[in-house]
Amino acid sequence: MATVIIGQHVRDEHREAFAAWQNQVNDVVRGYPGFLGTEVTPPTAVQPDWVVIYRFDSVVHAQNWLNSAARQDLLNRGAAYHDGPATQQVLARGGQPRPALMTVVVTHRVKEEDTQAFLEWQQRLLAAEREVPGFRGSEIFRPVAGVQDEWTALYRFDSATSLDAWLTSARRKQLLEEGREFDDFQLRTVDNSFGNWFAFDERGDDVPPPPSNAKSSLAVWLGLYPTVMVLSLGLAWLLPGLPLWQSLLIGNLLSSFVMSYLTMPHYANPMLRWWLRPPAEAPQPRTDLLGIGLVVAVNAVWAVVFCLLTERIWTLP
């Protein structure tokens, strides 16, 4: 498969207009052969750019989209929202990167005769990164002939703190000095806020978060409401008279684990898979409206169940 990562700085006054324009782009790309999915990540405290990720089943199909007249027309229409040129990487080895809370994308321009020295230097970087708490793995992607001349390296960390510890470490500065002939690089951070709450595919592997933050929030709501209610009722039964501040403290801790290991991967995600990442041929906006309706309907059923349970069957102490 092929993954295209595009970073774009957007002027503050055009954020809403850019988001609407990007939705138009997403609607168009869905109709292209080989399209598998897209994600849009707005800027965060550690990620100043908007990051858009497209996934295709082959480099050829990705290239057809990137070079298409339809995309060029959309780029011309959205140029007023952009603050400077975009960055672009095409990854063509085994599909998409496995996500973590923080993913660093680094692109290097490397002369062909320096390839072996570059790979050896990357191995030294990797060995040092493995010693950093919070490091979750890395991948390196070769240039794609006819599409991209740069090497692309991905580094994954469990938090911004872990990432910052590596980026500012004396060991990294030493390694950058050792590889100063490869100092023509760009670095960008991608922040995936929901982490592995949305980790599911047919093989149980991690996949990137859904392309819409609104969908992510509604999916979390679907899983969170019954989780919190069941845990709250359980605590009230096991520990009657527990003060509210203690009940919430314990309940929030338990719900975080239950959501991560049970509710999201085995309840909410399987139910909403078709809606969180709809196939390219899914009719819009019908698919989105059906998904929203399903979330509201299921939580309405839960509300009736818990209302009857707490008002008619058992009154909380």
CATH number at residue 147: 3.30.70.100
- Does 203 have pLDDT greater than 50? no
- pLDDT confidence bin for 296, thresholds 50/70/90: very high
- Given 62, 79, 95, which residue is the final one in a domain? 95
How much is the average pLDDT of 98-115? 75
% of the chain surpassing 90 pLDDT: 8
CB 152 within 8 A of CB 141: yes
56 falls within a domain: yes
Per-residue pLDDT at 298:
94
Mean pLDDT of all residues in 283-298 = 87
- The pLDDT value recorded for residue 168 is 87
Residue 208 lies in a domain: no
Instruction: Tell me: pLDDT of 109 over 60.
Output: yes
Domain count, the chain: 3
Range of the domain at 60: 1-95
Confidence (pLDDT) at 301: 94
| Top-ranked range on mean pLDDT: pick from 25-34, 103-112, 207-216 | 25-34
Interstrand relation of 87-91 and 2-8 (parallel, antiparallel or unpaired)? antiparallel
Of 11-20, 75-84, 120-129, 281-290, least confident by mean pLDDT is 281-290
Evaluate whether residue 131 is within a structural domain: yes
Q: Residue 83 domain-assigned?
A: yes
Q: Are residues 295 and 278 in the same domain?
A: yes
Average of per-residue pLDDT values in the chain = 80
* Residues 143, 111 share a domain: yes
Q: Are residues 54 and 144 in the same domain?
A: no
- Tell me the pLDDT band of 206, cut-offs 50, 70 and 90: very low
The pLDDT of 162-172, averaged and rounded, is 86
Q: Give the predicted TM-score (pTM) of the model.
A: 0.48
pLDDT of residue 302: 93
Per-residue pLDDT, 212 = 58
- pLDDT over 50 at 200, yes or no: no
| Residue at which a domain ends, from 95, 121, 145 | 95
